[in-house]
Amino acid sequence: MNKIITFTTELAIRPWFFEHRFAGRAVLPMVEAIDFLAALAMEKFHELDVRHISNAKFDKLLPLPDAASLPVIVEYEPLADGRVRAALMSKKTDRINRLLGHAEMVFGRGEAAPDDESDEDLNLAPEEATNSQAMRISPARIYSELVPFGPHYHSLRGEPRFDADTATAELIAPALPFACPALANPFLLDGAMHAACVHGQRFCGFVPFPVAFSTLNIGNARDLQQAGRRCRARCRLTRANTHEISYDIVISGGSGYIYLRGLLMKDVSGGAIKPPDWIVEKSR
132 — pLDDT class (breaks 50, 70, 90): low
**Phi/psi at 218 (5° precision):** -125, 130
Nearest to 117 by CA among 269, 216, 263, 259: 259
CB 204 within 8 Å of CB 167: no
pTM of the complete model beyond 0.95: no
Q: Measure CA 122 to chain center.
A: 19
CB 117 within 8 Å of CB 102: no
Q: State pLDDT tens for residues 8-33.
A: 999 999 999 999 999 999 999 999 99
pLDDT of residue 282: 80
Q: State pLDDT tens for residues 148-199.
A: 999 999 999 999 999 999 999 999 999 999 999 999 999 999 999 999 999 9
CA separation, residue 102 to residues 72, 99, 147, 234 (Å): 10, 10, 22, 27
CA separation, residue 226 to residues 27, 32, 170, 223, 255 (Å): 25, 17, 16, 7, 13
125 — pLDDT class (breaks 50, 70, 90): low
pLDDT of residue 92: 81
**What are the helix (H) ranges across 100-158?**
139-141
**Sign of the torsion formed by the C-alpha atoms of 191, 176, 186 and 222:** positive
Q: What percent of the chain stands above pLDDT 90?
A: 83
Residue 119, pLDDT above cutoff 50: no
Q: Where do the structural domains in the chain lie, given as residue ranges? A: 5-110+131-279
Class of domain 5-110+131-279: alpha beta
111 — pLDDT class (breaks 50, 70, 90): low
242 — pLDDT class (breaks 50, 70, 90): confident
Q: Measure CA 131 to chain center.
A: 26
Residue 112, pLDDT above cutoff 50: no
CA separation, residue 131 to residues 134, 163, 240, 271 (Å): 6, 7, 21, 31
Residue 278, pLDDT above cutoff 60: yes
Distance separating alpha carbons of residues 173 and 64, to the nearest angstrom: 24
